[in-house]
Structure 1
Amino acid sequence: MSRNYKFHNPKGLYFVSFAVVSWLDVFTRNEYKDLVIESLEFCQKKKGMEIHAWSIMTYHVHLIFRSLENQPPELLLGDF
């Protein structure tokens, strides 16, 4: 994931999208999709992320989220 995201409002709702290097179709395999879902669940339970929508495509992920604890959103994605 690029570190170029700019989050200006800790209370805001954000859309992020990230892709696999070289746009390889890795998310056609269930074990990789499951890993992304487990990571999102971890962010919800342990980091205070509220997820409004998400989509796993064959080579990228879309996510609309916000922080429940008004912490900087980049901290929610830091160890994703």
Structure 2
Amino acid sequence: MKENYFKEGYSIKDQFATHFLTLTVCGWIDLFTRKMYKDILVDAFKYAQGQNQLILYGYVIMSNHLHVIARANDKQKKTLSDIIRDFKKFTHHEMMPVINSEAESRRRWMLHQFAYYGKYNPNNETMQIWENNNHPEECFTKAFTDSKLYYIHENPVHAGIVKNAEDYVYSSASNYAGKGGILDVELI
């Protein structure tokens, strides 16, 4: 299990190119079913954007993963890998105390699962929320980027959460529909 689970498949070759990324909770645990956890992700994105590190083109936060189309600001020194690493580290450290302190019915089970995944990662002390790989795909063409943006926006529709993509709060679909959103994005 250990060697297969942490094997790296995809990598970011051009650290300042636009990429489609998928960040997944270990074991596909439905962590983001509560607003407080999703809001931690939103705050982390806002911080990276506010520091002029991350340029965000599209996103969706689902119950156990999130998709983004983004790039590192080439006027800064931080690479896309650095930004994603810091994002995961920050959100992990923000979420763990919430999981431990809130009235979370699945608390013991989630902590057990995160400890299990952390045990098999030599880079962790004890717990691991995020899978290591982000499955980065460089957005080489407009057609590829558009298809990924459509896929991102349709995720909540296909999951049966909303009927119209722009009605899902934790997505950039509303930005593209001209309604604004909880995060600012640069329209493609």
**TM-score if structure 1 supplies the norm length?**
0.83
Q: Deviations over 1:33-71 (max 9, x none)?
A: 000000111111125100000100111010110112254
Moved over 4 A (4+): none
**Contact map agreement 1:7 1:72 (CA 8 A) in 2:** no
Q: Return the letter of the residue paired with 2:18.
A: L
| Structure that is richer in strand per residue | 1
Sequence identity of aligned pairs in percent?
25
Distance 1:15 1:24, change over 3 A: same
| Match status 1:49 vs 2:57 | no
2:7 and 2:47 map into 1 onto residues whose CA distance is 20
Q: Judge which range, 17-26 or 56-65, deviates more.
A: 17-26
**Contact map agreement 1:27 1:59 (CA 8 A) in 2:** yes
Residue in structure 2 matched with residue 78 of structure 1 by the alignment: 85
Q: Return the letter of the residue paired with 1:14.
A: H
1:50 and 1:3 map into 2 onto residues whose CA distance is 28
Give the number of the structure whose alpha-carbon radius of gyration is greater: 2
1:1-80 aligned within 5 A: 4=8, 5-46=10-51, 48-69=53-74, 71-80=78-87
Gaps (5+ residues) in structure 2? 1-5, 88-188
Gaps (5+ residues) in structure 1? none
Higher relative contact order (CA 8 A, sep 6+): 1
Q: Secondary structure of 1:38's partner?
A: helix
2:73 and 2:7 map into 1 onto residues whose CA distance is 22
Q: Judge which range, 50-59 or 11-20, deviates more.
A: 11-20
Root-mean-square deviation (CA, aligned residues, Å) is 2.0
